[in-house]
Structure 1
Amino acid sequence: MYKYEFRESRDYGGVIVQQEHLKIRKRSVKMTAVVVVHGGAWAIPDDLAKASVDGVKAAACEGFSVLKRGGSALDAVESAVKALEDNTVFNAGHGAALNMEGEVELDAIIMDGRTLASGAVSSVKNIANPVSLARAVMEKTDHIMLTGRGANLFAESIGVVTVPTHTLVTQYERKEWEKHKGYVTGVMEDFNSQWAHDTVGAVAVDCAGNVACATSTGGIRNKMVGRVGDSPIIGCGGYADNFSGAVSCTGHGESILKVTLARLILSHIEQGKSVEDASQLSLRYMGERVRGAGGAIVVSQSGRWAATFSTERMAWAAVEQDVLWYGLDPNERIKEQLSQ
């Protein structure tokens, strides 16, 4: 357990930074285990709304079942994101968006808030669950990120099962790509259109008070070959630190990269803001500073959580103490009791 002892302000070239000085104190009381997931912040059409909500609810329950069995936050976020990657409704793993050449390029990150260990992959083509490959990068290499051919070679070297890339492409995605491939726009216009769809992610805190995050995506439809957004970048698409909390971001990747959104949210929390206020302030700043829209899910070490977005919709769900919360539209927060 971390107890704040005192706060001091320091002047770094005119920038005042408040620093918390921590004293570690052991405590036997179990922390409240929580998992929160999102299925992407974008203009989710009505015909995908129910499936999107059902998908995040199932993924949140999957992640929480790991925590309930005594599993770690890291295990929980991997399990939840794998469920989303396996669901063709979402843009990650199966159901991923296609680039300008009609190819799949997948990105993912996972991070352990206890040690700050992180693993990421980008532009991988034939891996059904890139979040698990990202975890392997974290645990089996001295690196944080592997990309493209190198990531696939690593996957092969450790025996990760590959799949034919075409099996990751849904009929719906192929049809939408064919419809819009001649429509020349920038990535911002693509993101803001009804036919763009986005990232998935999860955050969790376990009974030991450790936090973790994971984020996975197929990117944005019609992106340039080799384009990498925020999702696999530490501090942008996700960040986890036991001292402050865990975040997974979603939205316009280039905007999220510019403001390092995940780390920005946690910096507000470190300054004393609530998880919800920190998220709202950061999303508002991104909108005002670089005209970017998006969303974020956040959990603190104490179990406080938030799901916030500035897009039209974001499918999200959270489970704490056998209570399921979920929503899709702004200010929507529905409660459902889970069976014991």
Structure 2
Amino acid sequence: MKPVIVVHGGAGRIFKEREEGSRAGVVRAALQGYDILKRGGSALDAVEEVVRSMEDDPHFNAGEVEMDAIIMDGKNLDSGAVSAVKCIANPIKLARLVMEKTKHMLLTDNGAYVFAQAMGVPEIPGEKLITERSRERWKKNLEPDSNPEEFQKDLGTVGAVAIDSEGNVACATSTGGLSNKLAGRVGDTACIGSGGYADNRSGATSTTGHGESIMKVVLARLILYHMEQGLSPEVAADTALDYMKTRVGGLGGVIVVNSSGEWAARFSTKQMSWATVKDDQLHYGIYAGERHTKSVDEALASEREGF
């Protein structure tokens, strides 16, 4: 099996001044994940490392203040997730520890924090997780004439799906969530079947968008169901996104890879940054219909020159 990696940097609105950084971020992450796969690494290791790198990238709203994350292994359907975690730089690493070191699938808030301490996961002051852009958005959203819907469209989620040389698939998703959400709110990211799903028999997907809508239709699992009925990743993704839009009025985006290595990056929002590498060819874009292609060698040369 030829390895494939697909990544996304969140569906919603990407301001003009952030487009270049967002493109560069997903390209860098995809190349990093593909390198792991090409060297014989597992799909699980690749998606974890890709998401970790994007959690650390200030262009994406992942790894801020209260964070959710999920990781899933398509080989055995094992999964680990955390929600409402604070003061942890990389929640995706904590999610994998939940999967591999406990009998549980989801830990939240203080329980996740205590577990992180027990596992020796490094802490980081919450203030260091807040970018200046996020601080300004938070202040603006408190203004009496602010429009909450405007901020809900600027959703920050990152994700990755992969298939490795052994034919195993995996997914990982991480988010900082909605601005000014109610205390205790858990979105789609940490919920298996909503924020992501992976099964070697069909494929893997990672979702992004309006969390409550995604949970209502169980978007990630719905896409895999459509693929199990014989639809291609692209048609399965479009069918599920169309259903979510018409049934509950929700917008979002998804990345998908099936058990044959076919992939898709589809979205119903205005934008979604995405990148994929297959057969040593890099593809990436942000807008609907936008697709740039480079060889991996050319892309790596561009990386060294600053993209």
Which band: TM-score by shorter chain? Answer: over 0.9
3-state SS in 1 of match to 2:287:
coil
The one-character-per-residue Cα deviations of 1:186-237 (angstroms, maximum 9, x if unpaired) are 8655323xxx232100000000000000000000111112211100100000
Aligned position for 2:305: none
The answer for unaligned runs of 5 or more in structure 2 is 299-307
- With over 3 angstroms needed to count, the CA separation of the structure-2 counterparts of 1:107 and 1:76, relative to structure 1, is same
Give the aligned partner of residue 120 of structure 1.
81
1:319 paired to 2:277: yes
Cα shift at 1:43:
1.3
Instruction: Tell me if the contact between 1:64 and 1:76 (Cα under 8 Å) persists in the aligned partners.
Output: yes
- Pair 1:264-2:222 in alignment: yes
2:165 maps to a residue whose letter is C
Point out the structure with the larger helix share.
2
Post-superposition offset of 1:240: 0.1
**Residues 69 and 174, structure 2, Cα contact 8 Å, conserved in 1:** yes
State the alpha-carbon separation in 1 of the partners of residues 91 and 134 from structure 2: 19
Of residues 209, 215, 237, the one that matches 2:167 is 209
> Which residue does 1:135 correspond to in 2?
96
Give the distance between the partners of 2:36 and 2:106, measured in 1 at CA. Answer: 26
Q: Please tell me whether residue 239 in structure 1 is matched to residue 197 in structure 2.
A: yes
2-side partners of 1:187 and 1:228: how far apart?
18
Structure 2 vs 1, CA of residues 167 and 266 (structure 1 numbering), >3 Å: closer, same or farther? same
- Structure possessing the higher radius of gyration over alpha carbons: 1
Structure 2 CA distance, aligned partners of 1:184 and 1:134?
38
Counterpart Cα distance in 1 of 2:149 and 2:30: 30
CA contact (8 A) 1:188 1:252 kept: no
Cα distance in 1 between the residues matched to 2:94 and 2:105:
11
Q: Look up the SS of the partner of 2:181 in the other structure.
A: coil
Report percent identity of matched pairs.
56
Q: Does 1:286 align with 2:244?
A: yes
Matched residue type, 1:299: V
- Pairing of 1:147-162 with structure 2 (within 5 A): 147-162=108-123
SS in 1 for 2:243: helix
Matched residues in 2 for 1:294 and 1:167: separation? 29
- The 5 Å alignment of 1:166-315 reads 166-183=127-144, 190-192=151-153, 196-315=154-273
Of 35, 40, 44, 1:74 maps to 44
- Mind listing any 5+ residue stretches in structure 1 that lack a counterpart? 1-30, 97-103
C-alpha separation between the residues in 2 aligned to 1:114 and 1:184? 50
Q: Is the 8 A contact 1:187 1:223 kept in 2?
A: no
Per-residue CA deviation, residues 30-51 of structure 1 (Å, 9 max, x unaligned), is: x010000000000111111110
Partner SS state of residue 118, structure 1: strand
CA gap 1:33/1:199 in 2 versus in 1, 3 angstroms = same
Q: Deviations over 1:94-146 (max 9, x none)?
A: xx3xxxxxxx1100000000000000000001111000100000000000000
In angstroms, what is the RMSD of aligned CA positions? 1.3
Query: Are 2:14 and 1:48 aligned?
Result: no
Equivalent position SS for 1:240: strand
Q: What's 1:337 paired with?
A: 295
> 1:72-106 deviations in whole A, cap 9, x for unaligned?
0000000100010000110111xx3xxxxxxx110
Q: 2:67 aligns with which of 106, 123, 131?
A: 106
Report the AA paired with residue 17 of structure 2: D
Assess if the C-alpha contact under 8 Å between 2:138 and 2:179 holds in 1.
yes
Q: Secondary structure at the match of 1:110?
A: strand
Moved over 6 A (4+): 184-187
Q: Counterpart in 1 of 2:60?
A: 90
CA distance in 2, matches of 1:85, 1:139: 21
Secondary structure (helix, strand or coil) at the match of 1:80 reads helix
Q: CA deviation at 1:182?
A: 2.8
Assess if the C-alpha contact under 8 Å between 1:44 and 1:197 holds in 2: no
Q: Do 1:32 and 1:302's aligned partners in 2 also have CA atoms closer than 8 Å?
A: no
Matched residue type, 1:291: G
- Letter of the 2:100 partner, please give it: E
The residue that corresponds to 1:23 in the other structure is none
